[in-house]
Amino acid sequence: MGKMDSDVFENVALQATKWAGSSRSFAIAAGVIVVWLISGPFFGFSDTWQLVINTGTTIVTFLMVFLIQNTQNKDTLAIELKLNELVAAIEGANNRLICVEDLSSADLATLNLHYRQLALLAQKESPVARTHSLGEAALRHQRKVKKP
């Protein structure tokens, strides 16, 4: 698939995902179900009548899986990039965490143990209520809104 094809797919997927998540699309889907239910007696609740809704929902579900996965991939990449920028920008942050998602499961498990140990040490040092009190929240807010 070329760049132009990929761009077209990205744009169509973005628009379709936005539309599918709207209240209007939900209302349309609910309306289709209501019309299908009301039409049941006219078709004698036949196998064909049931097959229509089953086929329609299966096709929509199948296509939505790809749209949702595409959106999830983009969202995940965006979050990873934002976190990478934060790690890169903060002095003292471990640059090994940049693109940490590319590490092996064993390496991720090692890092997880490392950070769990840090969390345990921090818990022993002071309770959460002391380090994250309402008074501390007010002080942090004041420092942020203070103009230099």
Residues 6+ apart with CB under 8 A from 40: 49
pLDDT greater than 70 at residue 36? yes
Inter-residue long-range contacts of 63-72, CB under 8 Å, 24+ positions, other chains counted: 64/20, 66/13, 67/13, 67/16, 67/17, 67/20, 68/17, 70/9, 70/10, 70/13, 70/17, 71/13, 71/14, 71/17
**The one-letter amino acid at 65:** V
pLDDT greater than 80 at residue 59? yes
pLDDT greater than 80 at residue 30? yes
pLDDT for 1 equals 63
pLDDT in tens, 40-51: 999 999 999 999
- The ranges assigned to domains in the chain are 1-101, 103-148
